[in-house]
Chains A and B, each alone.
Chain A
Amino acid sequence: MAENTKPAAKKLRLNIIDFLVIIVILGAVVGIALRMGVVERVTNQSNVEAARISFLIQDVQEASADYFRIDDVFTAKNLECEFGKLESRQFMPAEAFIANINGELIKTHSSNNRIDVRGTVIGSGTFTDEGFLLAGINFIAPGSTVRLQSSELDVLATVTAIEKVEKSS
């Protein structure tokens, strides 16, 4: 008669190699998180405030003016985050710099149905000692070039100013 013996449960024992593998995996995870700025992002995104961002769009066709509608939401395509809601816009003939017959550069304006657009959006981000982080993630400052997209528009803009929007009491 064969004896029915239940095999003893195997105990899971960690040896030194298993322990080292676990440490290396944990170290890799922590390293990746730090390298990708995960900690920084979480911290910055918790201090998001409203910001008024001024921009300049140069030399677009005059018909594009119809697509800049107040309260339209613009996305910063190259930064993959929201840029803001259009608060104001002004249209003016596109500036142009041309050299005259004497070789001197003079400023003039296009008469070929091209315009410049200046405006402001109300966006959000974090104001830090190193500058403004749009959506708490992406650094922008005057001089930055941003590809703006709305539901009907796709243009290149230059940031000209950023200021904090004071909360109304």
Chain B
Amino acid sequence: MGNTKQKRRFNVVDALIILLILAVIAAAAVFVLSKGVGGRKSNTFEIEYVVELRTVRDEFADNIKVGDRLVDSAAKYQLGEVIAVSTSPATFTGTDLVNGALVYCNYPEHSDISLTVKASAETDSDGMYIIDSGYRISVGSTMYIRTPDFVGTGYCTRFKKTEVR
């Protein structure tokens, strides 16, 4: 009586498992490398951009301070550091019912806030500016922002490159 050793055969299920493992490893590698871990990208540069927040109640119009970190409320992208804040009375455009002319006046108890923000950015394959490896920024884009003491919605109105790394 002999002992026949059962031979393990490589089958389709084993092949599928190996492919799945390789796919997960590849996805993890892409994720880690796209975050720029361990190295600088050659197209990283500094930008400054301006966010305008319109018609903010005066009672918390002064809540944003220079040095505050700006964060995207929705997906928590780090949008940079506030380097300048300016507030001005919010404006309202009305119509003079007598002569039909446009009238520009202050919106009582509300202010417009202009934030200048400094951030690191890179360009994607379409040439768009990307902050924090995922947040696309451009003039006119709506920004849902938060700082430690403020939440609001504004628009990017200007930006410029300041330094190439």
Q: Which residues of B contact A162 (CB under 8 A)?
A: 149
Do B60 and A103 touch across chains, with their CB atoms under 8 A apart? no
Interface residues on A, range: 20 to 34
> Chain B interface secondary structure, helix, strand, loop or mixed?
strand
| Residue A105 interfacial (CB < 8 Å) | yes
Contacts A24-B24, A101-B97, A105-B105 hold; do A17 and B59 have CB atoms under 8 A apart? no
Do B95 and A141 touch across chains, with their CB atoms under 8 A apart? no
Interface size on B, residues (CB 8 A): 35
A60 to chain B, nearest CB (A): 18
Using CB atoms, name the residue of chain B closest to A159: B151
Do B21 and A101 touch across chains, with their CB atoms under 8 A apart? no
Give the distance in Å from the alpha carbon of A65 to the alpha carbon of B11 in the complex.
72
Contacts A17-B17, A24-B21, A130-B71 hold; do A103 and B105 have CB atoms under 8 A apart? yes
Of B71, B98, B102, B146, most A-chain CB atoms within 10 Å = B146
Contacts A21-B21, A24-B21, A144-B151 hold; do A104 and B59 have CB atoms under 8 A apart? no
Among B54-100, those with CB < 8 Å from A are 56-57, 59-60, 63, 69, 71, 92, 94-98
Give the distance in Å from the alpha carbon of A131 to the alpha carbon of B150 in the complex.
9
Q: Which residues of B contact A (CB under 8 A)?
A: 14, 17-18, 20-21, 24, 28, 56-57, 59-60, 63, 69, 71, 92, 94-98, 101-103, 105-109, 146-152
Task: List the 3 closest A-B pairs by CB distance, nearest first.
Answer: A103-B94, A103-B103, A142-B60
